Structure 1
Amino acid sequence: MNIQEHHIDPHTEKQVSYFQIARHILQFVHPPEVDLDRCLPSFSSFVVEPILEPAMLSVELTTRAAPADDPDTKLLSDISVIWEERFRFEETSDHYVTTILAGVDERPWKMISTKDFKHSVIYAQADELYTTFKAAWLLMIAFGQAGLQHQTILLHASVVERNGVGYAFLGKSGTGKSTHSRLWVKHIEGTQLMNDDNPVVRVYDNAEVFIYGTPWSGKTPCYKPIEAKLGAVVRLEQAPYNKLQWQKAKEALIALLPSGSAIRWNPELFDSMLKTLEVIIQGVPIGYLRCLPDRDAAALCFAKILEYKAASASS
C-alpha cells in the first residue's frame, strides 16, 4: 500500500497515517506535502487502514522550528552508538528530549516526548527528510519506550524464522550476530532472515511469547511485517571453539538485559522491561553460545535447540 493514501484531518490540515508493528498501532501525523514513501521507505509494508483500536503511541512530525530549550533541562546522555557525540538525551519536568546534533551541512533534529512516550513531536529539517534515516530512528526510540508498558520489548538482535518459529541472536556489536543468522539461512533448510538489528518481542496475557519483524533492520534491508513464536534466544561470544550452554534465572536475565531497549533513567519503564524479561525467561530457552563464525556453529546451535525442546516435551 502506498503510504500517501491515508486521510487528511480536516480540522488540522495534517495527514494521519497508521503503522502496525507487533500488532500495536503507531499513529503518525505529518504535513500532507511530506512524501512518506521517500521519508520512511522501510515502513511501507507496515501501513494499515485507520481502525477503531486506540494507537499505542502517537508521533507528530513537523518542519516548524523546535521550541526554545528549557533552562532547567537535565542532560542524561550525550553519546550514542549510532550518532556518537552527535546525540543528546535530556529530561525536563514533564518530557524527555532526544536531539540529533548537526553534522556537516546539517541542522539539529529534536524529538520531545511525554515521560511514557505515548506522545512525541519530531522537529525535523525539511531539506533532510529524504536523505537521512533520522525520522525512522526517532520513531524507533519512541516505539521502543512506549511498548514497554505493553509487555513489548525492542530487542537489539538478529533473528531468523523457520516453520513459524523465530530464533534471536544477541551480542555486542561485531560479535557476529548477522554472520550467525546468515549461516542458519545458508545451511539450515527452511530458514529465512526475519530482521537483522531490531526485532520486537511481545508477551501476551497467556504468557505466549512472539517475535516480530519491524521497519528497523540496521544495515541489512529486511523489513518484514511477520510474526513467529519465539523458540529460543542465544547470546553469542566469539571463541576458538563451538559450545552452547543453557542459562537459567539470573544468568538468563544477564544474557537478555543488555539487549533490551529501556532507558535506565525511567524507573517505571525499566521495571516494566524487567517484568517482561522475567516472563520470557520462564517460557523461552536462553542460551550462551561461544562460537566460531562457521557452519558447525549454526548446526550445533540448531541441534541443541531441538534437543532442549525434545527434553522439555518429554518431561
Structure 2
Amino acid sequence: MFCVQIAEVLVAIENRYAFSERLCADYIANASPDECDFSVSATLEEIAAENNDGGTFSPAYCESLALYRKICTRMLDYDAFLLHAAVVSYRGRGFAFAAKSGTGKSTHVAQWMRALGDDVTVVNGDKPILRWQSGEGGEAKDAGAPNETPGGEAVEVACDQLAGEFVAYGTPYCGKENWGQNTSVPLHAVCFIERCEPGEPDRLSRLEDDGEIIARIMNQILMPNDPALAARQLDLLDRLVSSVPFYVLRCTPTPAAFDAAFQMTLCDNGRKRMHRCEGSGHED
C-alpha cells in the first residue's frame, strides 16, 4: 500500500502489482493510510473487467485502470471529477481539448508545444482531474443553492458570480505520450476538436447552447452508477458550463489549427448569461 496526493486529496492505494506504484511515483505523498481522505483497492474480478481489448493488457496495467476508476468515482465527494481531455497551461490559464480517439488531440497539443515552447506546459495529456475550488478556500458543497435575504426568502443569483473556479490537476494517468506534470492551473476554456472535411477551412466557434455542451461533455466523463454520485456529477457539470466558455474547433492537424485555437487566449471568455442556481437546473 502507498499514498498519493491527487487534486489536493490524499488517497491510500492498496495495490497487488508494483506497476501502479511506479506509475504514481511523482504523486506519492509522505502520509500514512490513516491520514488519507479515502482508500481504494481492486478485486481480481474488477481487474479482469478492465481487459476488454481481446485480453492483450497485462493484469498490472488493468489494475492501474481499475484503481483510477475508483479514485475518480470517490473524487466526486470532493467536488472533483475526471475529464477525458488534454489540458495545457499558457500564461497561467488552462485550456482543455477533448476529442474522439484518433481525431488528433495529441497532434494538436504538440502544435501548442512547438509554437509556444517554454510558455506552455502540458498539465495532463489525457485524464486530468477538474476540481471546483471555492473562493473562500473551502469545499463548495452547498454552492449552487439560491441566496437568501435576511428575511429568509430565496433570491436568484448569477452562477458566473459564484465565488470559485475550476482548477485542472495533473494525474499519473496522462496517456500514451506520457505528457503531464504534478501541477495545476485554473481552467479558462474547453474546446472540442473535430476533423473538418477536405478543403474546409479551420474554424473555431463558440458553443452557446448548454444542452449541446452537456451532450458533448457526457462522452468525456466517467458517470458513476450510484444515483447520488451521478447527481453530484451532473451538478458539477452544470457548474462547469456556467463557469467557462466552450468551443468547437473543426480542423486538420496542422499549424493552422493551432492558430485557430490560439484565438481562445485572446478572447473575452467571460460567460455573460444569467442562470438560476437551484441544484443542477438553470435558466437563461
| 2:85 aligned residue | 157
Paired residue type of 1:259: Q
| 1:285 aligned residue | 245
Q: Is the 8 A contact 2:51 2:62 kept in 1?
A: no
Q: Is the 8 A contact 1:236 1:288 kept in 2?
A: yes
Paired residue type of 2:183: I
Task: State how far apart, in whole Å, the 2-side matches of 1:280 and 1:57 are.
Answer: 25
Task: State how far apart, in whole Å, the 1-side matches of 2:52 and 2:82 are.
Answer: 20
Q: Which of 1 and 2 has higher RCO (CA within 8 Å, sep 6+)?
A: 2
| Match among 75, 79, 82 for residue 147 of structure 1 | 75
Distance 1:24 1:271, change over 3 A: same
Q: Is the 8 A contact 2:4 2:12 kept in 1?
A: yes
Q: Using the TM superposition, give the Cα deviation of residue 53 of structure 1 relative to its aligned residue in structure 2, in angstroms.
A: 8.4
| 2:29 aligned residue | 48
| 1:17 aligned residue | 2
Task: State how far apart, in whole Å, the 2-side matches of 1:30 and 1:300 are.
Answer: 44
Task: State how far apart, in whole Å, the 2-side matches of 1:286 and 1:181 are.
Answer: 17
Q: Using the TM superposition, give the Cα deviation of residue 223 of structure 1 relative to its aligned residue in structure 2, in angstroms.
A: 4.3
Q: Structure 1 residue 254 and structure 2 residue 215: aligned?
A: yes
| Match among 183, 197, 218 for residue 226 of structure 1 | 183
Q: Structure 1 residue 83 and structure 2 residue 51: aligned?
A: yes
Task: State how far apart, in whole Å, the 2-side matches of 1:221 and 1:41 are.
Answer: 13
More helix by share: 2
- SS of structure 1 residue aligned to 2:24: helix
Identity %: 25
- SS of structure 2 residue aligned to 1:156: coil
Q: In the comparison of the two structures, how many residue pairs are matched?
A: 238
More strand by share: 1
Distance 1:18 1:246, change over 3 A: same
- SS of structure 1 residue aligned to 2:205: strand
Distance 1:142 1:170, change over 3 A: same
Distance 1:54 1:287, change over 3 A: farther
Q: Using the TM superposition, give the Cα deviation of residue 170 of structure 1 relative to its aligned residue in structure 2, in angstroms.
A: 0.5
Alignment of 1:69-218 (within 5 A): 83-84=51-52, 103=55, 132-189=60-117, 190-206=119-135, 207-218=164-175
| Match among 222, 225, 228 for residue 268 of structure 1 | 228
Which is worse superposed, 215-224 or 40-49? 215-224
> What do the CA deviations read for 1:71-97 (whole angstroms, capped 9, x no partner)?
xxxxxxxx98x73366xxxxxxxxxxx
Q: Using the TM superposition, give the Cα deviation of residue 51 of structure 1 relative to its aligned residue in structure 2, in angstroms.
A: 6.3
Paired residue type of 1:273: Q
| 2:138 aligned residue | none
Paired residue type of 1:261: L
Distance 1:309 1:61, change over 3 A: closer
Q: Using the TM superposition, give the Cα deviation of residue 260 of structure 1 relative to its aligned residue in structure 2, in angstroms.
A: 1.0
Paired residue type of 1:244: L
Q: Is the 8 A contact 2:190 2:245 kept in 1?
A: yes
- SS of structure 2 residue aligned to 1:167: strand
Q: Using the TM superposition, give the Cα deviation of residue 237 of structure 1 relative to its aligned residue in structure 2, in angstroms.
A: 0.7
Q: Is the 8 A contact 1:188 1:299 kept in 2?
A: no
Task: State how far apart, in whole Å, the 1-side matches of 2:92 and 2:34 are.
Answer: 26
Distance 1:270 1:311, change over 3 A: closer
Give TM-score scaled by structure 1 length. 0.67
Task: State how far apart, in whole Å, the 1-side matches of 2:74 and 2:25 are.
Answer: 21
| 2:144 aligned residue | none
- SS of structure 2 residue aligned to 1:198: coil
Q: Using the TM superposition, give the Cα deviation of residue 215 of structure 1 relative to its aligned residue in structure 2, in angstroms.
A: 0.6
Distance 1:271 1:297, change over 3 A: same
Distance 1:296 1:266, change over 3 A: same
Q: Using the TM superposition, give the Cα deviation of residue 146 of structure 1 relative to its aligned residue in structure 2, in angstroms.
A: 0.9
| Match among 2, 8, 13 for residue 28 of structure 1 | 13
| 1:114 aligned residue | none
Q: Is the 8 A contact 1:157 1:171 kept in 2?
A: yes
Q: Using the TM superposition, give the Cα deviation of residue 137 of structure 1 relative to its aligned residue in structure 2, in angstroms.
A: 1.1
- SS of structure 2 residue aligned to 1:221: coil
Task: State how far apart, in whole Å, the 2-side matches of 1:306 and 1:143 are.
Answer: 35
Task: State how far apart, in whole Å, the 2-side matches of 1:151 and 1:224 are.
Answer: 21
Distance 1:49 1:175, change over 3 A: same
- SS of structure 2 residue aligned to 1:188: helix
Q: Which runs of 5+ in 2 are unaligned?
A: 136-163, 273-284
Q: Using the TM superposition, give the Cα deviation of residue 60 of structure 1 relative to its aligned residue in structure 2, in angstroms.
A: 3.7
Q: Is the 8 A contact 2:243 2:271 kept in 1?
A: no
Task: State how far apart, in whole Å, the 2-side matches of 1:60 and 1:304 are.
Answer: 40
Q: Using the TM superposition, give the Cα deviation of residue 141 of structure 1 relative to its aligned residue in structure 2, in angstroms.
A: 0.6
